[in-house]
Structure 1
Amino acid sequence: MIGETDAEGGTPRKVFLSYARADVEAARKVVALLEGGGFDVWWDGLIEGGATYQQKIEEALDSADCVVVLWSTSSVDSHWVRDEAESGRERHRLVPLSLDGTMPPLGFRQVQMIDVSRWNGRPNAPEAERILLSVSAQCSGKLDEPHHPVATAPLRHGVSRRALIAGVVGMAGVAALGAWQAGLFPIGDSDSSRISMAVLPFANLSGDEDQAWFSSGLSNELRAVLSRNPRLRVSAPTTSNALDEEGADEFAEAKRLGVDNILRGSVQLAGETMRISAEVVQISDGLVRWADTFDRALTDIFELQSDIARTVALSLIQQIASEEEARESLAEQQQVGGTDDVAAYEAYLRGHAFYDLSAGVESDRAALAQFDAAIVADPAYAAAHAMRATMLAAVANATTDASEIARFYDQSIAAAQRSIELEPRLAIGHLALGFALNNGRLDRKRARPHYEKARELAPQDADILRSAAIFFGFGPETKLARQMIDDAIALDPLNARAYRTAGYVAYMAHDYPLVISRMEEALALNPKLASAYNAIGAALYAQGRYDKAIAAFEAEPVAIFKHTGLAITKAAMGDKAGGETALQAVVDEYGDAATYQQAQIFAQWGDGDTAMEKLEQAVAGRDPGVLLALNDPMLEPLRGRPDFARLLRRLTS
């Protein structure tokens, strides 16, 4: 059973079931499932004749560990159901199910819903196991709020084939690592002698398209292992995946990008065995530098990983080193912050797939739900806590309610601290904590050592370099930021976001021609990239090229940046009315969430007092926009003011 008792293992967890009378048959199925899973379920079918209806409901709600609500076309119009669901939501103990695909009413859509419209009522169906896992997570109170029902692959007795494919990551990573440590790549002592390589997504040969997302997880884990090797320069995911696009000539593209080698392979299941094939190919002449195939029984995936790791290390590395040195070198290359729980690992890879999708707040919340699930399965999974912190910050950034933003950032900080507590060597944990402290608390002083630590722990991680470059570029260390973002671009030359970061680092250094060229490179890779045209417009404005600046701001897809740029530039051109109209658009659409942009406008309009008033409001509201204030060219008219100098000291002390 799935976590059905309290912490002492005694009394069953209490579940309150809320539903509309028209859905009573569906409710009976849910009751049967939960009771079969060991939960103590209260529903109105238990009320005896003559009992005080409202009193019984209130008593049951107050004593419930969580509330399961069945949304349907009938229940969304029920005031009873809404009130009962509200009780669960306020306590962060709500598990919403949709019986017929109906969306929850407004106010209840922040919690991820499980669609059970196709559930056949059987307790061994995937929907049933998701319900049980979600209810267990919410009733147990193991997670920091906000809790999300867990739409993950179900926990199983034994090991699922999909989980086994996920677990193969470690096995293939060790195989590739063995190739490096066996001396198949030339080694040198200087940075210029590092060997460059790209890890392509492994092909899924299992005949099940639903397993295709494991290819991304496999390649990401391989990169994580190999990038820890100081002798390798491993291309980041965006660039590596581009080499594997359908119709691409991977050799020609790799040569163009300066990649010396590619690692590619496949995964195939056949009955109760698994076959992993991998090879390292030298791009210059197509020579296969290393290749191997591993066939193993599908028993315990983590024991299998250990067996393959020992086999590769002892059979390859001993050719050039002692057995002791082989074992030590293998230990140094292992991932940190991981898990030995199959379900936790599978949920983590699913979460990363949503994170990579980056399709907005819905995919962010879906990723968060998966990382929550990973933590439920393994509370000591440091990497899952770090990614949970990352997604909580992403949700905070997409929220407009100030109190909600603060709450999400508080939770992000707590999750990141927990990840570091579990594994101090985890770079993504330090990065998540640095970001949450900097953007959520405006605490640059406390954030700095975590950005430095992340960079120290993962000097070959393009995403960490890019994030750190933003932090240092918005402060006094623009030269350091330029070096980091140049390194990130070298690792990930097909990533539009890397060029956009380079453009903003250049903007903070007041290098306006470089801003324009970097942003044009970013737009060539992604014509719809947010805020790139805004930076071009700001650079053109700083050069006095107002007509072209207007055109750039008009092309910006993000309204707050578009209207801010137009307000500043139109006023500079003498169109005061046009500038005021654009300012009003900023106020109308964003209100207090745009106090920093309003400060930029008033500073450029020459109204320093109002600009300072808006900046103080931005600081009080923890508007992350004020992080730009240290170098922002738009605030140059304020640089001589003592009150502005005091505000900057507060931001950096």
Structure 2
Amino acid sequence: MQGSRFAFGPFVLDSGAGTLLRNDVPVTAGYRAVKLLAALVARPGEILGKAELMDAAWPGTAVEEGNLTVQIAQLRKLLGASVDGGEWIATVPRIGYRFTGAVKEIGEARRKPLPLPSKPSIAVLPFVNLGNDPEQESFADGLTEDLITDLSRTSDLFVIARNSAFAYKGKARDVRAISEELGVRYLLEGSARRAAGRVRINAQLVDAVSGEHLWAERFDRGLDDIFAVQDEVTARIVEALLGRLRMPPPRQRPKSLEAYDLCVRARRLMDDTPRAAQEAHLLLTRAVTLDPDYAEAYRWLALNHWMGWVHSGGPTEASRGIALELARKAVAIDPGDAGCRWALAYLLAYERDFTEADTEFAKAIELDPNEADAWAALSDITVLAGRIDEGLEHIRKAFRLNPFPASWYYLPLGQALYAAGEHQAAVEALRRDETHRTSSRRFLAASLAQLGRVDEARAEAELFLVGNPDFSIRHWAAMEPFRDVAMRERFVEGFRKAGLPE
């Protein structure tokens, strides 16, 4: 996406791309660090309060002030001395921080346009909530997400994933720029208003290359018809883009609109902090109480249990058993849901049931070839099976479908690059995984160690052990779903060099 670029000393910061250059050479900086630096250099000489800076780096998330202190210290180390020999970032005691250097804004930079796929390609932009009640925001978001899912199940279409579509939420929309950034020809945009038991939806399909409006329609229906409207919109788009109406079987829909709203709200929390995921767990538990046959809610509950986010002590054997049971239930309720299939496949791989896991992954891809999360999860399992090139192909496909992905995508990418011996590229990828940094730090430490940067590797290993004090290489190697002994030893070697405990 577009963003401002700032030059100071030998550095150029591109806030939109999330990159920092020193004398035109990329500098490895984490996501939070870039956000903080962007906030500071955008207002040089001004004092920015701690609360304001924490909101810039951790929007919508409650974090301790110590996290800000750590990030500022790392930034100072990264930037080194300023032109006059002082610090680029000055501390204002008890208040905040101030950027001391001279800054020149050098305008916006745009990502290199992505090539168009060989098949009709589309992104569903977040529908605008026109209701007076901000609480209805989740309804508009849910409508957008469902349309993405419905369209992506059509194998003759190329459909951009949810995370990348929502990167444009609340932003001014230049359709040609969005088309180039996402590498799609068509955009669906619209609005929704929900009130007094009715819903009004406006939708239009745009050819971003020619600027032509291919289709537009307004739907004014009872709220109970919302899923029928989604099916109708999907059918009209497929017909417009493919010249024929050929739809996969309709998805199973929730019976309770309240359960649906709860699940939409929970999904928005899933890529955030463990504390947010605990809130999501409560919402999802309520959703399945209201609708015991709601497959998607069971899928997210399964992933929450597997990650251990709903347990104060982290993932346990019992929590993963619960996760597997929930994932199986989700698939049993709705065998045609690709998301439920890949979640079950991933959990089965960690149970060493590789035959069934492979079958479930294959079914997930067959049901929805545009399911970016499935390709990312499959990359993880494929690399640990020793099929490095195949794993790299899977994660690159995930990034193409999801150019602005959730933070966790950088973990399987970094793991695949490490396995391929591309250790510097692995470091750069893993340092972009901020949300799940506790997990990725062990691979970051191993990658740095393989590059001979032992001090940095040991520092990362120590930080990893703060959050994982019981970690041992032997236990990790036994738990991970390796199918290739040589691949397991490649990772073990890096861990040992980084100083992680045996």
TM-score (structure 1 length as normaliser): 0.51
Q: How much has 1:194 moved relative to structure 2?
A: 1.0
Over 3 Å counting, the alpha-carbon distance change for 1:499 and 1:289 in structure 2 is farther
Matched, 1:504 2:424: no
Which AA in structure 2 matches 1:349?
V
CA deviation map 1:32-83 (0-9, x unaligned): xxxxxxxxxxxxxxxxxxxxxxxxxxxxxxxxxxxxxxxxxxxxxxxxxxxx
Q: Distance in 2 between matches of 1:550 and 1:223?
A: 45
Q: How much has 1:552 moved relative to structure 2?
A: 5.7
Which AA in structure 1 matches 2:318?
R
Q: Distance in 2 between matches of 1:368 and 1:528?
A: 18
CA deviation map 1:394-434 (0-9, x unaligned): 22686547xx7122111111111112222222222222223
User: Contact 1:474–1:630 at 8 Å: present in 2 too?
Assistant: no
Q: Report the equivalent of 1:466.
A: 376
Q: Distance in 1 between matches of 2:163 and 2:233?
A: 32
CA RMSD of aligned residues (A): 3.7
Q: How much has 1:316 moved relative to structure 2?
A: 9.8
Q: Distance in 2 between matches of 1:204 and 1:383?
A: 24
Which AA in structure 1 matches 2:332?
E
Identify the range of structure 1 (480-489 vs 455-464) with the bigger mean alpha-carbon deviation.
455-464
CA deviation map 1:613-634 (0-9, x unaligned): x67xx74xxx448789651424
If you compute each CA radius of gyration, which structure gives the higher value, 1 or 2? 1
Matched, 1:538 2:449: no
User: Contact 1:201–1:244 at 8 Å: present in 2 too?
Assistant: yes
Q: Distance in 2 between matches of 1:437 and 1:549?
A: 36
Which AA in structure 2 matches 1:306?
A
Q: Distance in 2 between matches of 1:445 and 1:367?
A: 32
Q: How much has 1:266 moved relative to structure 2?
A: 0.4
CA deviation map 1:425-479 (0-9, x unaligned): 222222222333333x354454333233323322211111111111111112222
More helix by share: 1
More strand by share: 2
Q: Distance in 2 between matches of 1:233 and 1:222?
A: 13
Q: Report the equivalent of 2:263.
A: 348
Match of 1:414 among 325, 335, 344: 325
- Match of 1:459, SS state, is coil
Q: Report the equivalent of 2:398.
A: 488
Over 3 Å counting, the alpha-carbon distance change for 1:364 and 1:260 in structure 2 is same
Matched, 1:595 2:472: yes
Q: Distance in 2 between matches of 1:341 and 1:287?
A: 38
Q: Report the equivalent of 2:334.
A: 423
Over 3 Å counting, the alpha-carbon distance change for 1:253 and 1:415 in structure 2 is same
CA deviation map 1:502-541 (0-9, x unaligned): 2211212333344245446x46xx6995555654543342
Structure 2, unmatched stretches of 5+, are 1-115, 496-502
Identity among equivalent positions (%) equals 22
Matched, 1:359 2:255: no
Over 3 Å counting, the alpha-carbon distance change for 1:562 and 1:443 in structure 2 is farther
Higher relative contact order (CA 8 A, sep 6+): 2
Which AA in structure 2 matches 1:202?
F
- Match of 2:308, SS state, is helix
Q: Distance in 2 between matches of 1:314 and 1:209?
A: 29
Q: Report the equivalent of 1:224.
A: 149
Q: How much has 1:289 moved relative to structure 2?
A: 1.7
Q: Distance in 2 between matches of 1:310 and 1:634?
A: 49
Over 3 Å counting, the alpha-carbon distance change for 1:429 and 1:630 in structure 2 is farther
Q: Distance in 2 between matches of 1:223 and 1:308?
A: 10
Q: Distance in 2 between matches of 1:532 and 1:351?
A: 24
Q: How much has 1:271 moved relative to structure 2?
A: 5.3
The number of residues matched between the two structures is: 379
Q: How much has 1:307 moved relative to structure 2?
A: 7.0
Q: Distance in 2 between matches of 1:374 and 1:219?
A: 20
Q: How much has 1:491 moved relative to structure 2?
A: 0.8
Q: How much has 1:382 moved relative to structure 2?
A: 2.0
- Match of 1:252, SS state, is helix
User: Contact 2:160–2:182 at 8 Å: present in 1 too?
Assistant: no
User: Contact 2:303–2:323 at 8 Å: present in 1 too?
Assistant: yes
Q: Distance in 2 between matches of 1:372 and 1:627?
A: 35
Structure 1, unmatched stretches of 5+, are 1-190, 565-585, 600-613, 639-653
Q: Report the equivalent of 2:200.
A: 275
Q: Distance in 2 between matches of 1:397 and 1:433?
A: 18
Q: Report the equivalent of 2:52.
A: none
Q: Distance in 1 between matches of 2:383 and 2:259?
A: 36
Q: How much has 1:201 moved relative to structure 2?
A: 1.0
Q: How much has 1:317 moved relative to structure 2?
A: 5.4
Over 3 Å counting, the alpha-carbon distance change for 1:534 and 1:549 in structure 2 is farther
Over 3 Å counting, the alpha-carbon distance change for 1:201 and 1:530 in structure 2 is farther
Q: Report the equivalent of 1:265.
A: 190
Which AA in structure 1 matches 2:183?
G
Which AA in structure 2 matches 1:374?
A
Q: Report the equivalent of 1:390.
A: 303
User: Contact 2:383–2:391 at 8 Å: present in 1 too?
Assistant: yes
Question: 5 Å matches for 1:181-192?
Answer: 192=117
